[in-house]
Amino acid sequence: MMKEAVAAPVATAAMLKRKMDGRFRRNGIAYGLISGITFGLYSTVVAVAMMKDPFLGVVGAFAAPLVASAINDTLAAIWLVIWNIMKGRTKEIGRSLVTIPGLMVALAALFGGPIANGAYLVGIDMAGAAAIPISALCPMFGAIFARMFLKQKIDKRVAIGMLICVVGAALISYVKPEGGTENFTLGIVFALVAAVGWGLEGVFSAFGMSMIDSNIAITIREGVSGIVYIAVVLPLFSATDLFASVLGSVSPMLIIAIAALFTAISFLTWYMANNMVGVAVGMSLNITYVLWGVVFAAIFLGDTLTPTVIAGAIIITIGALLVSMNPMDLFKKEA
């Protein structure tokens, strides 16, 4: 009788733990999907902002996307600082920035912000929705750079995923959508640059984010990116005047502020998902921004979704999933 009395609470505790673990994993998957949806929304909302004055009629292919990206990253940093103030973590930002891991995150910010995000918006501006799935080649480039710099092996699954990604990218790039801009091919190239930049960001941030709280690291990432944009990139591309004009325009600023909020939510939920279900599953759920972005672009921007764009987006998503994770991980019960 004594043994039975002891066994009952133990069984109940084990059952409660299984339920708690299951709920924890479901929440992690939900956060991962939210990160993908909000990044897809960011891509669309910032494109809407570039359709407003004073962006319209700007001479040069780079000024408008770079200004939009600069304001977006700066405002995203502000949203994240507010979040950290609410959580009582503001002192950690300065302390973390002067450490080696913090400097690695800052270096990653240069690749992920001015280079990748700037090229991403230029790609969307030139190639529309077709640029979004091309940018999702970043896990493939991340695997290549990890092999080069971190000596990580590329196994058969990753290699197959990379090949599938290339097939999807080739399919999208091969046929220019009807009504597409003259710069469609150049837009695809810039989307490819974005994928390379985000791949490099992943490699350099891997070290820093293993030693710094992810909320702090993301804040440093967005803050450094915004500062470099304003201090270096915009003057380099003679976009300072446009930057000042946009700051004085209520409508585009409000729209970009919303886009920046989506950016901040996407980063936060992505790293919450990584913590709950693992980086591989978290990244794979985040990559769904490809499909969300294409759908939102069709709904809100009126972009034409050709069969090749749809097929290419699906193929790249499948390939990116294979690169970043073993599909069987989705069916495992333990995080």
pLDDT digits over 116-167, tens only? 999 999 998 888 888 888 888 887 888 788 788 777 777 888 788 888 888 8
Q: What is the pLDDT of residues 200-231, one digit of tens each?
A: 887 887 777 778 887 888 899 899 999 999 99
Sequence spans of domains, the chain = 34-331
For residue 332, the model assigns a pLDDT of 59
Sign of the CA dihedral 295, 111, 67, 238? negative
Which residues lie closer than 8 Å to 214 by C-beta, 6 or more apart?
A: 271, 274, 275
Are 70 and 243 contacting, i.e. CB atoms less than 8 angstroms apart?
A: yes
Q: With 90 as the cut, is the pLDDT of residue 193 above it?
A: yes
CA distance 85 to 81: 6
Q: With 50 as the cut, is the pLDDT of residue 335 above it?
A: no
Treating both helix axes as pointing N-terminal to C-terminal, what angle do 2-49 and 118-127 enclose, rounded to 10 degrees? 60
If residue 104 lies in a helix (H) or strand (E), which one and from where to where? helix 100-110
Q: What is the pLDDT of residues 18-28, one digit of tens each?
A: 666 667 778 88
For residue 312, the model assigns a pLDDT of 85
CA distance 8 to 47: 59
For residue 191, the model assigns a pLDDT of 93
Q: If pLDDT is split at 50, 70 and 90, which confidence band does 8 have?
A: low
Q: If pLDDT is split at 50, 70 and 90, which confidence band does 17 have?
A: low
Q: With 60 as the cut, is the pLDDT of residue 7 above it?
A: no
Closest listed residue to residue 290, CA positions, set 264, 258, 324: 324
Which residues lie closer than 8 Å to 75 by C-beta, 6 or more apart?
A: 226, 256, 257, 260, 261
Share above pLDDT 90 across residues of the chain, in percent, rounded to a whole number: 32
